[in-house]
Amino acid sequence: MDFSEFNKELLKKAQKAKNAINQTLAMKLETEALRFVDDNFNNQAWEGIAWEKSGDGTILVKSGDLRRGFYAEQKGSEIHIKNQIPYAKAHNEGFEGTVNVPAHKRAVLS
């Protein structure tokens, strides 16, 4: 093997190592980002700022769908944290508008 062949082989191995490192790093970043979201639910706060309570019990957790709905998606060198639950965007970004609520009756507590 001459120097040129050695250099080509070395560059191939370096690229392969770089790709493996990037893939491992991306997986770790996904895990940490999802852990960050879950920790916010555990702490009932966003980066130390408590969520506003609207009643008794845990905030933003009724069925658990919103909390469980987060997932990570890798696009090139970017990692996107997403949630397909219909009301996730309103909780994250706010909402202005009207919502139609079906008619219902409330039980009288005695």
What value does the mean pLDDT take over residues 31-42?
91
Distance CA 85, CA 66 (A): 6
pLDDT digits (tens, 9 = 90+) for 56-93: 777 777 788 889 999 999 887 788 999 999 888 888 88
pTM: 0.66
**pLDDT score, position 69:** 93
Is the pLDDT at 110 greater than 70, yes or no?
no
Total count of domains within the chain: 1
Q: Would residue 85 count as lying in a domain? A: yes
Q: Would residue 24 count as lying in a domain? A: yes
**pLDDT score, position 15:** 93
Lowest-confidence segment of 25-34, 83-92, 100-109 by average pLDDT: 100-109
83 lies in which domain range? 3-47+63-93
The alpha-helical segments, DSSP class H, found in 44-86 are: 65-68
Distance CA 101, CA 110 (A): 25
What value does the mean pLDDT take over residues 100-104?
85
Strands, E, within the chain: which ranges? Answer: 45-46, 49-50, 70-75, 78-83
Is the pLDDT at 23 greater than 90, yes or no?
no
Q: Would residue 26 count as lying in a domain? A: yes
Q: Would residue 106 count as lying in a domain? A: no
Half-sphere exposure of 1 (CA within 13 A, CB side): 7
The residues near 82 (Cβ < 8 Å, ≥ 6 apart) are 70, 71, 72, 73
